[in-house]
Structure 1
Amino acid sequence: MGVVYYGNYMRLFEIGRTELLRSAGLPYVELESEGYLLPVLEAHAEYILPARYDDMLDIITNYEIEHSPVIVLRYEIRRNSDTLARGWTRHTFVSASGFKPVRPPQRFFDAMTSYNQPLGA
């Protein structure tokens, strides 16, 4: 068929999430080493146009605090100026030791506030 399998958009969202944290100066591996995990509570995707195999894609990722410790990450997958998909994931911060909800570390807020840009920017 030559188009990207719909389930792979969730992988693209995960790449966007990981790169957002890395670009903000807070790699996910550091959060884990400090005892924080960020599991997905809910995920949604809207497919607008198909991505084709070997397309060069941009993943635009933004976040918002829903209510601490829950955050929402919003994504757009683009090929040039075309939006191919949009979606979001809800996450909560939990402790690695007991998998209980915990408040995000202050350095998460500091890093994300200084990095955050509106979608479409």
Structure 2
Amino acid sequence: MFTNTNKLRVRYGETDQMGYMYYGNYAEFYEVARVEMLRTLGLTYKGMEEFGIMMPVLELHCKYIKPALYDEEITIKTTIEKMPGVKIHFKYELFNEKQELINVGETLLVFVNMEAKRPCLAPAYFLDKMKPFFG
């Protein structure tokens, strides 16, 4: 299992009239969290695209428990529970400044060969970076 944590602050433009983070922005927080998680391993979307691999999202699940509020620093815990293959599954837990769980989500992405426009196995260099966490 591989876990990473990072923090994002809710900006004014991400909120609605009530000062709550707009529901559609949670997906953007998930994206930032997974991009930064992969970056900690030296993996980037840009680097994968240079090798001809894309990672589109197949599924997004989101459960709202409490609102994220304007100017709050949100802690995002991102977890990959099993070794990727053709697909990679990310889980997210968002916590407010009081460390209360406010949101949980999941995304399922697929590795796609850009030339063939077909699903493919995760690249070997990607799997090599993941192996230490899934002994």
TM-score > 0.5 by shorter chain: yes
Q: Residue 109 of structure 1 corresponds to which residue in structure 2?
A: 127
Displacement after TM superposition at 1:109 (Å): 1.7
- How far residue 30 of structure 1 moved from its aligned partner, in angstroms, is 0.6
Where does residue 113 of structure 2 map in the other structure? Answer: 95
% same residue: 37
Misfit runs of 4+, over 4 Å: none
The 8 Å contact of residues 83 and 131 in structure 2, kept in 1 or not, is answered as: no
Residue 119 of structure 1 corresponds to none
* 2:46 corresponding residue in structure 1: 29
Whether the aligned pair in 2 keeps the contact of 1:78 and 1:85 (CA below 8 Å) is yes
Q: 1:26 to 1:67 in 2, by over 3 A?
A: closer
TM-score normalised according to structure 1 size: 0.87
Q: CA deviation digits over 1:5-42, x for unaligned, max 9?
A: 01100000000111111011111211111110000011
Counting matched residue pairs gives 116
Ranges in structure 1 where 5+ consecutive residues have no aligned partner: 117-121
- TM-score of the superposed pair, with normalisation by structure 2: 0.78
Greater Cα shift, 64-73 or 20-29: 64-73
In 1, Cα distance between the equivalents of 2:110 and 2:82? 10
